[in-house]
Amino acid sequence: MQPLDEFDKKLLRLLQRNNKTTADELGEAVGLSPSAVQRRLKRLRDEKVIEADVSIVSPQVAGIGITCVVDIVLQDGNSRALEKFKTTMRKCPEVMQCYFVTGTYDFVILVNAKDMQHYEAFSKKWLMDNNNVKHFYTHVVMDKVKVGYSVEV
């Protein structure tokens, strides 16, 4: 992967704010021609510096009423059990994020649910009925104080 220069960094900062910005607008902002911007963006995508171009959908519009942060302790921590749990979490449509972490817990997941009944059904199916889940602790989000997707470049 080619190291990021100042033009790349400026482009990435602008795109993280609005990925619909045109090559003309980006070029004007950073001092490059639109074709130079397009070449750079292609390289950044090809090198997986830009992992995805996505639209963030409002959870409320999708019928999501609650978000939960769930700390999970597994019964068995061997590599096979860990990989099986990771695979299981990847299959859960309610799980937005899943992290294998150090410390007291083995995993931390972020779950979106329509309501508490939906979360209860999720937790029964994916956590309570999973023989390798020893304990899980649910924190219901009261307010999303800060949600960000950009990284500092």
Q: Where are the beta strands (DSSP E) in 28-89?
A: 66-74
Residue 39 has what pLDDT?
97
- Say what the pLDDT of residue 61 is: 94
| Residue-range domains of the chain with CATH | 6-47 (1.10.10.10), 59-141 (3.30.70.920)
Helix (H) or strand (E) holding 15: helix 6-17
- As to burial, measured by CB atoms within 10 angstroms (0-12 exposed, 13-18 middle, 19+ buried), residue 112 is buried
Residues in the chain, overall count: 153
Q: Are strands 133-140 and 107-113 parallel, antiparallel or unpaired?
A: unpaired
Distance from C-alpha of 59 to C-alpha of 42, rounded to nearest angstrom = 31
DSSP state, residue 58? -
Query: Residue 109 has what pLDDT?
Result: 98
* Tokens describing residue 130: 């999973």
pLDDT of residue 77: 83
pLDDT of residue 19: 92
Query: Which among 89, 90, 92, 77 is positioned nearest to 132, based on CA atoms?
Result: 77
Rounded Cα gap, residues 23 and 67, in angstroms: 36
Can you tell me which residue has the tokens 């899943």? 98
Two tokens, residue 20: 């619909």
pLDDT in tens, the chain (153 residues): 889 999 999 999 999 999 999 999 999 999 999 999 999 999 999 999 999 998 888 999 999 999 999 999 999 989 999 999 999 999 999 999 999 999 999 999 999 999 999 999 999 999 999 999 999 999 999 999 999 888 999
pTM: 0.85
